Amino acid sequence: MKIAVLPGDGIGTEIVAEAVKVLGALDLKFEMETALVGGAAYEAYGHPLPEATLKLAKAADAVLFGAVGDWKYDKLERSLRPEQAILGLRKNLGLFANFRPAICYEQLVDASSLKPELVAGLDILIIRELTGDIYFGQPRGRRIATDGHFPGTEEAFDTMRYSRPEIERIAHVAFQAARKRSKRVTSVDKANVLETFQFWKDVVTEVGEQYPDVQLDHMYVDNAAMQLVRAPKKFDVVVTGNIFGDILSDEAAMLTGSIGMLPSASLNSSNQGLYEPSHGSAPDIAGKGIANPLATILSAAMMLRFSLKQPEAAQRIEVAVQSVLTQGLRTADIFSPGATRVNTQEMGAAVVKAL
Ligand code: NAD
Quick one: pLDDT at residue 166?
Answer: 97
126 touches ligand 1 (CB under 6 Å): no
Residue 276: closest CA among 69, 44, 25: 69
Quick one: pLDDT at residue 113?
Answer: 84
260 touches ligand 1 (CB under 6 Å): yes
Quick one: pLDDT at residue 51?
Answer: 97
- Residue after which a domain boundary falls, among 261, 292, 325: 261
Q: Are 292 and 334 in contact (CB under 8 A)?
A: yes
46 and 182 in a single domain? The answer is: no
Q: Which of 279, 284, 285, 294 to mutate to test the pocket of ligand 1 (most atoms within 8 A of CB)?
A: 279
Q: Whose CA is nearest to atom 42 of ligand 1?
A: 280
Active site residue 236: no
Distances (CA, A) of 306 to 57, 133, 182, 267, 301: 16, 25, 19, 8, 9
Q: Are 9 and 281 in contact (CB under 8 A)?
A: yes
Residue 162: closest CA among 44, 82, 244, 235: 244
Q: How far is the CA of 277 from the centre of ligand 1 (A)?
A: 10
CB atoms within 10 A of CB 231: 10
3-state secondary structure of 126: strand
Active site residue 333: no
244 and 282 in a single domain? The answer is: no
Quick one: pLDDT at residue 280?
Answer: 93
248 and 157 in a single domain? The answer is: yes
Quick one: pLDDT at residue 258?
Answer: 79
Residue 128: closest CA among 295, 320, 265: 265
- Residue after which a domain boundary falls, among 261, 282, 301: 261
Amino acid at 343: N
171 and 250 in a single domain? The answer is: yes
Domain that holds residue 129: 101-261
Active site residue 250: yes
23 and 60 in a single domain? The answer is: yes
Quick one: pLDDT at residue 198?
Answer: 98
309 and 225 in a single domain? The answer is: no
Q: How far is the CA of 253 from the centre of ligand 1 (A)?
A: 12
Bridge partners of 217, per DSSP, are 186
Q: 50 preceded by cis ω (within 30°)?
A: no
Pick the catalytic residue from 45, 135, 158, 183: 135
Cα 212 vs. chain centroid, distance in angstroms?
29
Give dist(CA 286, CA 297) in Å, integer: 18
Amino acid at 7: P
Quick one: pLDDT at residue 107?
Answer: 87
Q: Whose CA is nearest to atom 23 of ligand 1?
A: 280
7 and 119 in a single domain? The answer is: no
Quick one: pLDDT at residue 253?
Answer: 84
Give dist(CA 74, CA 24) in Å, integer: 36
User: Which CATH number does the domain housing residue 177 bear?
Assistant: 3.40.718.10
Q: Which of 247, 251, 259, 346 to mutate to test the pocket of ligand 1 (most atoms within 8 A of CB)?
A: 259
Pick the catalytic residue from 190, 201, 211, 236: 190
Angle at 279 between CA 311 and CA 221, to 5 degrees: 95
Quick one: pLDDT at residue 257?
Answer: 77
354 and 257 in a single domain? The answer is: no
Quick one: pLDDT at residue 210?
Answer: 98
Q: How far is the CA of 290 from the centre of ligand 1 (A)?
A: 13
Q: How far is the CA of 232 from the centre of ligand 1 (A)?
A: 23
Pick the catalytic residue from 123, 158, 202, 246: 246
Quick one: pLDDT at residue 336?
Answer: 85
Residue 198: closest CA among 229, 232, 160: 160
Parallel, antiparallel or unpaired: strands 340-341 and 329-330: parallel
Give me the tens of pLDDT residue by residue for the chain, a chain 355 residues long: 999 999 999 999 999 999 999 999 999 999 999 999 999 999 999 999 999 999 999 999 999 999 999 999 999 999 999 999 999 999 999 999 999 999 998 888 888 889 999 999 999 999 999 999 999 999 999 999 999 999 999 999 999 999 999 999 999 999 999 999 999 999 999 999 999 999 999 999 999 999 999 999 999 999 999 999 999 999 999 999 999 999 999 898 888 877 889 999 999 998 899 999 989 999 999 999 999 999 999 999 999 999 999 999 999 999 999 999 999 999 999 998 899 999 999 999 999 999 9
Q: Whose CA is nearest to atom 17 of ligand 1?
A: 260
Q: Whose CA is nearest to atom 31 of ligand 1?
A: 69
Q: Are 4 and 64 in contact (CB under 8 A)?
A: yes
Quick one: pLDDT at residue 256?
Answer: 85
Counting the structural domains of the chain, the total is: 2
CB atoms within 10 A of CB 251: 15
300 and 350 in a single domain? The answer is: yes
Give dist(CA 41, CA 83) in Å, integer: 12
- Residue after which a domain boundary falls, among 261, 291, 326: 261
User: Looking at ligand 1, which atom is closest to the CA of residue 12?
Assistant: 40
Active site residue 29: no
Active site residue 246: yes
Quick one: pLDDT at residue 255?
Answer: 87
